[in-house]
C-alpha cells in the first residue's frame, strides 16, 4: 500500500513593502490647553514629554478618512494596487461605527474589491496585534498582500476638562503594506499578551452592552476615557522590558543586534524606564511623542514612517516595535527591514489618484443600484421553510414591549431569555 506524503509548502516571509501616515493639520499646544484646564507647559512636559498634539477638528477627519489617506501612501510606496490586497485590518479604539467595521469603509474607499476587511480592538497595542495577524496570514500562504492600519480619533472620547487625560492624547493614522516573499526577512517574530484583570485601569465605561448609553451616562461623563495613570505606568514599564527581551530572543537575536527600537509613544518617562531596564543607549530609541502625544494604535506606524523619512532605518536593519495598552494588552515584533523602494514617479501618483476617484464612482453606483432595485422590484416577503407552517403572528408594539420586559429569577437577578426558552406554564387540574 502506497504512502501519501503531504507536500511541504515553501515558507513565506511577510515584508514591509509600503508605509504611510496621516495626521490632522490642527495643532493644540500645551499653552493652548492651559487656557481651558489647570495645567502648564512645564507641568505636562516634565511628566509626559509631550509639547503638542494633532486634533481632528474637521468633521471630514474621521478614523476612516485618516486611515484611507495613510493607506493611499502605503500602497503607493509599495507599488501595490488596491485590488491586489487580500485583507485589510484596521486597529482602532475609536471606530467609525459600532458596525459596520471601519475596515469595510476603508475597503470601499480604496476600491479593494478582492479584500476581506475587519477591525481589531486591542487598545494602544492594536497595531502590533494587527501586524502579527497580517504576517501570520502571509506565512500560512492564505494571503500575499495585507494592509495593516492603526488609526484613532481619541480627541472625541477625551474629557477636555480632565487634565489627567486630555493632555495625553492626539489623533492620527499610520499604515503598512505587508507583502509575501520567499526572501528571508520581514517580520521575524511576534509576541501577543493580555491580562484582562487590569481592564478597569484604562477604560471607557459606557457605550457598550454592559452599560448602554443613557442620559445619566452622558451627564456623568461615562463615555470618556478613564485611566489609573499610576497603575498603567507600573504595568507599562514592566512589560516593555519583558516583551522586548522575549521577542528578540524568539527571533534568534540579541539586544545588541537591534538597530532601532520603536516603542509605543505614550509617555517619555515610560520609554526612559525601558531604556534603563534594557541597558541600551537612548539614541537607539525613536521618539516623536513630543509632537503628537499618544495616538494609541496609530503611534507606532506613525513613528515608523517618520523614522524612515529621517533616514534612521537602512536595508538589513533589525527593528523592535513594542506596544502596550487597554485590555490590558501588550505586543511586540522584530522586523528585518528590506530594500528601500525607489521614488514614486509623477505618472504613478496621477494614476493612483484616478483609481480612487473611480472607486468612489463605483461605490456610489452600487448604492444607487440597490435603491433602484428596491423601488422597482421591492423586497421579497419572508417565507417559512416549512410550507405547511402557520404564518408568523403579527407582533404589535405593545406585545413586543411586554415580551421584552425583563423577568426575574427567585434570586432577583434579571432574566431576559426569549419566551420560547422559558419553562411552559403549569396547567391547573380541572374538576371532572
Which among 114, 247, 109 is positioned nearest to 191, based on CA atoms? Answer: 247
User: What pLDDT digit, counting tens, does each position of 298-316 carry?
Assistant: 999 999 999 999 999 999 9
Q: How many CA atoms lie within 13 A of 183 on its CB side?
A: 12
**Whole-Å CA distances, 38 to 164, 166, 356:** 10, 11, 45
User: How many CB atoms lie under 10 A from the CB of residue 275?
Assistant: 19
> Which phi and psi (to 5°) does residue 295 adopt?
-100, 20
What domain count does the chain have?
Answer: 1
Catalytic residue, chosen from 104, 124, 166, 305, is 124
Residue 401 in domain: no
Give the tens place of pLDDT for each residue, 187-211: 999 999 999 999 999 999 999 999 9
Known catalytic membership, residue 223: no
What is the rounded average pLDDT of the residues 421-425? 42
267 among known catalytic residues? no
CB count within 10 Å of CB 234 equals: 14
**Mean pLDDT for the chain overall:** 88
Other beta carbons less than 10 A from residue 228's beta carbon = 15
- For the stretch 148-192, pLDDT in tens is 999 999 999 999 999 999 999 999 999 999 999 999 999 999 999
Residue 400 lies in a domain: no
- pLDDT of amino acid 418: 39
Return the pLDDT at 393: 56
Q: Per-residue DSSP letters for 292-358? A: H-B-GGGHHHHHHHHHHHTT---TT-EEEEEEEETTTEEEEEEEE--PPPPPPPHHHHHHHHHHHHH
Host domain of residue 86: 13-346
- Other CB atoms closer than 10 Å to residue 318's CB: what's the count? 17
Contact 61, 153 (CB under 8 A): yes
Write the CA distances from 34 to 31, 45, 156, 260, integer angstroms: 5, 12, 19, 35
Within-domain flag for 121: yes
- How many residues in the chain? 432
| Banded model confidence at residue 424, pLDDT cuts 50, 70, 90 | very low
Contact partners, residue 149, CB within 8 Å, separation at least 6: 67, 70, 71, 88, 89, 90, 91, 103, 106, 127, 130, 173, 174, 175, 301
Is 382 inside any structural domain?
Answer: no
Name the catalytic one among 30, 104, 166, 264: 264
Say if 109 falls within a structural domain.
yes
Instruction: Out of 15, 104, 145, 294, pick the active-site residue.
Output: 294
- Specify the pLDDT at position 69: 98
- Using the predicted structure, report yes or no on whether residue 115 has a pLDDT greater than 60: yes
Q: Any idea what the CATH number is for the domain that residue 337 is in?
A: 3.40.47.10
Position 128 in a domain: yes
264 is known as an active-site residue? yes
Task: For residue 106, tell me if it sits in a domain.
Answer: yes
Unique residue bearing C-alpha cell 480592538 = 121
Angle, alpha carbons 352-354-360 (nearest 5°): 110
Render the burial of 89-106: b for 16+ CB within 10 Å, e for the rest: bbbbbbbbeeeebbbbbb
Percent of the chain residues topping a pLDDT of 70: 84
Cis status of the peptide bond prior to 381, with omega within 30 of 0: no
Enter the pTM of the model: 0.84
Give the model's pLDDT for residue 392.
53
**Model confidence at 419: pLDDT above 90:** no
376 in any annotated domain? no
What is the average pLDDT across 118-128?
98
The closest alpha carbon to 205, from 190, 193, 195, 220, belongs to 220
pLDDT class of 118 with cuts at 50, 70, 90: very high
Amino acid at each position: 500500500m502506497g504512502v501519501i506524503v503531504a507536500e511541504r509548502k515553501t515558507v513565506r516571509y511577510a515584508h514591509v513593502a509600503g508605509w504611510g501616515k496621516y495626521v490632522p493639520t490642527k495643532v493644540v499646544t500645551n499653552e493652548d490647553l492651559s487656557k481651558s484646564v489647570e495645567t502648564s507647559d512645564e507641568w505636562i512636559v516634565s511628566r509626559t514629554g509631550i509639547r503638542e498634539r494633532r486634533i481632528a477638528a474637521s468633521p471630514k477627519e474621521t478614523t476612516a478618512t485618516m486611515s484611507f489617506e495613510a493607506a493611499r501612501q502605503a500602497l503607493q510606496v509599495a507599488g501595490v494596487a488596491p485590488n491586489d490586497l487580500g485583507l485589510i485590518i484596521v486597529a482602532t479604539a475609536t471606530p467609525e461605527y459600532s458596525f459596520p467595521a471601519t475596515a469595510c469603509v476603508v475597503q470601499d474607499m480604496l476600491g479593494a474589491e478582492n479584500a476581506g476587511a475587519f477591525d481589531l480592538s486591542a487598545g494602544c497595542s492594536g497595531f502590533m496585534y494587527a501586524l502579527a495577524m497580517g504576517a501570520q496570514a502571509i506565512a500560512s500562504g492564505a494571503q500575499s498582500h495585507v494592509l495593516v492600519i492603526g488609526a484613532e480619533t481619541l480627541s472625541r472620547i477625551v474629557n477636555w476638562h480632565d487634565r489627567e487625560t486630555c493632555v495625553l492624547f492626539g489623533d492620527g493614522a499610520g499604515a503598512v503594506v505587508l507583502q509575501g516573499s520567499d526572501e528571508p526577512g520581514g517580520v521575524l517574530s511576534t509576541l501577543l499578551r493580555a491580562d484582562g484583570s487590569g481592564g478597569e485601569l484604562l477604560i471607557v465605561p459606557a457605550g457598550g452592552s454592559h452599560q448602554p448609553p443613557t442620559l445619566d451616562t452622558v451627564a456623568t461623563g461615562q463615555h470618556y476615557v478613564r485611566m489609573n495613570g499610576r497603575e498603567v505606568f507600573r504595568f507599562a514599564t514592566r512589560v516593555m522590558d519583558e516583551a522586548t527581551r522575549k521577542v528578540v530572543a524568539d527571533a534568534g537575536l540579541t539586544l545588541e543586534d537591534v538597530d532601532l527600537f520603536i516603542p509605543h509613544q505614550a509617555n517619555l518617562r515610560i520609554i526612559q524606564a525601558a531604556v534603563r531596564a534594557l541597558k541600551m543607549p537612548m539614541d537607539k530609541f525613536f521618539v516623536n511623542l513630543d509632537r503628537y502625544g499618544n495616538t494609541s494604535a496609530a503611534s507606532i506606524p506613525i513613528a515608523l514612517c517618520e523614522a524612515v523619512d529621517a533616514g534612521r532605518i537602512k536595508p538589513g536593519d533589525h527593528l523592535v516595535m513594542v506596544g502596550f495598552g487597554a485590555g490590558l494588552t501588550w505586543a511586540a515584533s522584530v522586523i528585518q527591514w528590506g530594500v528601500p523602494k525607489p521614488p514614486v514617479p509623477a505618472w504613478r501618483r496621477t494614476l493612483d489618484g484616478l483609481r480612487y476617484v473611480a472607486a468612489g464612482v463605483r461605490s456610489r453606483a452600487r448604492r444607487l443600484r440597490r435603491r433602484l432595485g428596491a423601488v422597482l422590484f421591492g423586497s421579497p416577503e419572508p417565507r417559512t421553510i416549512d410550507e405547511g407552517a402557520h404564518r408568523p403572528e403579527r407582533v404589535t408594539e405593545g406585545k413586543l414591549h411586554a415580551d421584552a420586559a425583563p423577568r426575574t429569577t427567585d434570586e432577583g437577578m434579571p432574566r431576559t431569555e426569549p419566551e420560547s426558552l422559558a419553562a411552559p406554564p403549569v396547567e391547573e387540574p380541572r374538576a371532572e
